Amino acid sequence: MKNNQNIGDIPSGNWHFENINDNFIQAEKYSEILWESTTKYQTAKIIEGLYFGRSLILDGKTQSTTSDEFIYHESLVHPSLVQHQNPENIFIAGGGEGATAREVLKYKSIKNITMVDIDKEVVLACKKLLKNHHKNSFDNPKVNLTFGDARNYLKFTKESYDVVIIDVPDPLEAGPAYKLFTKEFYSLVKSKLKNSGILVTQAGPTDPNSAKQCFTKVFNTINSVFPLTFPYHSHVPAFGTTWGFVMGSNSEAPSTTEEIDLKLKQLSLKDLSMYDGIAHDGLFNLPKYLRASLYNETHVINDNDPLFVD
Ligand code: SAM
């Protein structure tokens, strides 16, 4: 059997090939590249995908797509915000599409969202082309958008936050985000949280072939900083795998199905397509292989030995 014998079976047209990792590629047909740039920080494009819809791709990695961004953004935001008794002041690191801010704005208690994204060019392209993602969240007066490195911003701010949401790309060696995956950074975040504060971050893939590359290490690193640490995951089809998140908290443990549903009712949260009590249970009830990998992880990511993924 020859290598590439099926290459002729790929239908004609334009294909976005995404390296899920060095040995696994996912491909989506697209009709158009709407915007493309090599910015000061990363390569960036927005495509009109014919399966997942409009997608932002940074350094070759899909960040979110019209058809399933709600799974990623609701998973990232709601477990922490529902958990917090009174979220008012929120910090978002990254979050360029504006969809993380969109989800946070669903809480009536919110007084201020500080969003710090390093790449103005990417954010302006998202604002123009990803309207279904941000739903005008950038124009909400509660959202204060600043351009810069989120770590540097947190280092100098005098503010403290109820919830810090880290919505940056994976720690690629040539990328702008790897310094936001270290013990020193998580300690800085902790120092900027109020007593009942919560940190949450996206933490990479959780399938059996990839979980130990990033997810378990991020979990163990956050666990070395916070008294309570909660790993969870969700299936995001455009990412080609299940995707991990980690919450670090000073005091608040995740609630039960019934408690979540009651809180959602009390908060009268509108327009949730993925998150409720049952989905919350699903997020936090991790499979056996993943619990074992988390339990056995010993690596703590440090500034002087940062983590880089494929
Ligand atoms: N959903 C995403 C994913 O798959 O991980 C993250 C999406 S969001 C578009 C990531 C944003 O983080 C980008 O807009 C990027 O410019 C920003 N970013 C990367 N490094 C950053 C840093 N050091 N400080 C602030 N923003 C950063």
**Any ligand 1 atom below 6 A from CB of 79:** no
Ligand 1 atom at shortest distance from the alpha carbon of 180? 23
For every residue of 109-174, which 3-state class applies, written as one string? CCCEEEEEECCHHHHHHHHHHCHHHHCCHHHCCCEEEEECCHHHHHHHCCCCEEEEEEECCCCCCC
Structural tokens at position 265: 């009712």
- At 255 the pLDDT is 81
Domains and CATH numbers, the chain: 14-65 (2.30.140.10), 69-296 (3.40.50.150)
pLDDT in single tens digits along all 310 residues of the chain = 344 555 567 889 999 999 888 888 999 999 999 999 999 999 999 999 999 999 999 999 999 999 999 999 999 999 999 999 899 999 999 999 999 999 999 999 999 999 999 999 999 999 999 999 999 999 999 999 999 999 999 999 999 999 999 999 999 888 899 999 999 999 999 999 999 999 999 999 999 999 999 999 999 999 999 999 999 999 999 999 999 999 999 876 668 899 999 999 999 987 999 999 999 999 999 999 999 999 999 999 999 999 999 8
Distance 223 CA to ligand 1 centre (A): 23
Catalytic one of 162, 167, 170, 207: 167
CB 214 within 8 A of CB 207: no
Distance 149 CA to ligand 1 centre (A): 10
- At 6 the pLDDT is 59
Closest residue by CA, ligand 1 atom 2: 63
Tell me if residue 22 is catalytic: no
Tell me the C-alpha distance between 239 and 24, whole Å.
12
Mutate which of 37, 46, 63 for ligand 1 pocket (most atoms within 8 A of beta carbon): 63
Residue 197 exposure: Cα atoms within 13 Å on the Cβ side = 22
Distance 272 CA to ligand 1 centre (A): 23
**Any ligand 1 atom below 6 A from CB of 121:** no
